[in-house]
A = this chain, B = another copy of it.
């Protein structure tokens, strides 16, 4: 990593991991290439590949691109002014095919938590700018006499990312303008046909975090996790076309899929492992237990001083 005063943005993982721990490593692969910090008002809000930082030099009214870092122009003051400037940049980068197509979803740009956001940026450009991204993942489960069963979603085959992969029952990114409960209710309704009566029972149970150099840029993700116990006769119904099918499997089968295969979308593995730990399915003397518990909550470098 670039030796800046903010330090390395991600922790490092073990190269020869197996089983569950393999997913911790994959989601937190050692960063073996330089990233430049991106700051607003001196506060680090993202990390950029040098080649992408060079592209930003085409917006001199917005960015001050230096050899070791990129700063948002100090003249751009205030949440709305900054957001509008970044929105223009995001639209143009999408038009030039530097980023995926413009999505019209405003994501927070923040040095730490959502309530500290300094402005917003279109979701399509989030990974390129290496900003913290926030999501919500829900474990839908049924308690039966023979143990817990978990509902899984298989992603639609036409999705841009991870088509056909297994997913948590409900999962989605978190736009800046929506509150946590509001967005969760929306995702529950759209993805699984869950009404407020059931979705309102979802219990917030913590956060899973990881940091990974992806093809698009640095993924620094924070996933709010929820557990939702469902009645035995409930069957999820997808409304937005993002889900191919739903499966209800015994927890041991879900665990085996995570441990032995790569059928799940990458970060969903972490959410399931967290569920297995919190519900005592993963015993504390099982292999890598300590590494799993601590590895599910990687501090995101400069991100996390509450």
Contact = CB atoms under 8 A, between A and B. Distances in A.
Interface of A: 11, 13-14, 17, 21, 24, 112-113, 115, 179-180, 203-207, 209, 222, 224, 277-280, 282-285, 288-300, 304-306
Nearest to A286: B204
Given A14-B305, A280-B204, A290 B222 contact: yes
A305 B280 contact: no
A47 B291 CA distance: 21
Given A14-B305, A21-B306, A306-B295, A203 B280 contact: yes
A291 B306 contact: yes
30 contacts: A11-B299, A14-B305, A21-B306, A112-B290, A112-B291, A113-B289, A113-B290, A115-B285, A179-B285, A180-B285, A204-B282, A204-B284, A205-B277, A205-B278, A205-B279, A206-B278, A206-B293, A207-B284, A209-B294, A222-B290, A290-B304, A290-B306, A291-B305, A291-B306, A292-B306, A294-B297, A294-B299, A294-B300, A298-B299, A299-B299
B306 A204 contact: no
Contact of A283 (B11, B204, B279, B295): B204
Q: Among A14, A21, A207, A288, which residue has the most Cβ atoms of chain B within 10 A?
A: A207
Contacts of A278: 205-206, 278
Contacts of A222: 290
